[in-house]
Chain A
Amino acid sequence: MNDREMYAQALRFSMESDIAEYEKQPDHKFSRRFERRMKKLISQGNTLQYTPVRARIPLKKALAIAAIIVLASTLLVGATVAGYRLWESFYIRDYSDFSTLYISQIEGAPKTLEEKYDIGADMSGYVRTVTFENEYMFLVDYDIPNTDKWVAFEQTTRGISEQTWLDTEDAIVMPREVTVSGYKGFFCQDKYGARVLVWDTGDYILSAGGNPISEEELMRLAESVQRIDN
């Protein structure tokens, strides 16, 4: 073995040993601020590298890709079993430590947000921040300053949510069907205790989540959602 090969081998051993040491440490519960920043970063990441538009792509295809924007959100959660259909247009497929939500029948729905919705209930005490807004998504955070308590509301086009990654690892409550303001949806709770409602108005996919929050309180907030742009 020449010097270079010795260095390479020794450095590989050292790296393996370093990684083993790091991995011994307990897992970290990432802050919500971090998760939101990462969600934004991953959704916008490639624009850091590629600014020019190279070709015209059919909108539907663009939306299907953009659906991944919703990924990495700990907002949508479930559990790990097999694939199952919640109802006609919602289908969830479970893998070992995540699930994928598929929404069908997107053709007749608005391709962009033609109306904007938000929580209508009294949110005094919370600070409202619009964390992301474009033609396809509208994300609002409500935080109580100096506490870990948060509520989030999301509105997306059906196209955006056509295929969404769900963090279902060790979920406390698997997705189960609920009705929100007369619309079909599902409720679930992730391993950190965040409760989430996702429902389908036919035109848009809406979701409300929070932690700590009871299912009843979350349902009350979800049912208060109203149009805000008229």
Chain B
Amino acid sequence: MLQFYLSLVDNTEEKQRVEFLYMNYKQLMYKTALAIVHSPELAEDAVHEAFLRVIKNISKFFSFSCNENASYLVIIVRGIALNMLNRQQRLTELDEDLPSDDDIEAAAEIRLSFEDVLKNVDKLSPALKNVATLYYAHRLSESEIAEMLDMKINTVRVSLMRARAVLRQMGKENEYE
């Protein structure tokens, strides 16, 4: 057991960072999860699981601002809550339904205004929004997103393709919500 304590010593700052995140963001994370799973018990489980993920990725949290902390934590717990919900509702896997090449090519040619993009962001499902936010707003690589959200890298790629297709839509309903 002494080994356990010794292993902690090298990581005092990381431990303090986890504590800081826990104390400051547990309410926000809970509320985020609750909005999805609608069950206090499941929402608490989601926050707990999210902190497991945070601990695994704690080194990344040293360079984040407060806003970034909130954003990352919301994305992580939202992803977990969605997975819980999906497991309950036995939804199909994300990577089973790809957008067609025609969709992607058509979307690539469209020139949109910022207002159009803002409207399209609202059409993104929470899962796609998570991946797109990490990729575009936080500039994480596909592999970093896969690690943070505990997804297969292929699922990240597919999600990004879908998100891009939704973001580029003009005047038609979102097919990938």
Interface residues of A (CB under 8 A from B): 1, 3-4, 6-16, 18-19, 21-23, 25, 27-28, 30-31, 33-34, 37-38, 41-42, 44-57, 59, 61-63, 65-66, 68, 71-72, 98, 134-136, 165
Contact = CB atoms under 8 A, between A and B. Distances in A.
B28 A31 contact: no
Interface in B1-50: 1-12, 14-16, 18-19, 22-23, 26-28, 30-32, 34-35, 40-41, 43-44, 47-48
A28 B31 contact: yes
Most-contacted residue by chain B among A12, A19, A42, A45 (CB, 10 A): A45
Interface residues of B, number: 59
A15 B137 contact: yes
Interface string B149-172: 000000000000000100110000
A177 to B, nearest CB: 27
B52 to A, nearest CB: 7
Given A18-B74, A45-B55, A30 B30 contact: yes
Contacts, number: 165
Contact of B19 (A4, A11, A72): A72
A30 B44 contact: yes
A68 B28 contact: no
Q: Which 8 A-B pairs have the closest CB atoms?
A: A45-B55, A8-B136, A22-B31, A7-B136, A34-B44, A62-B5, A25-B31, A11-B137
Could you tell me the dominant secondary structure of chain A's interface residues? helix
A99 to B, nearest CB: 13
Interface of B: 1-12, 14-16, 18-19, 22-23, 26-28, 30-32, 34-35, 40-41, 43-44, 47-48, 51-52, 55-56, 58, 67, 70-71, 74-75, 112, 114, 117-118, 120-122, 129, 132-133, 136-137, 139, 164, 167-168
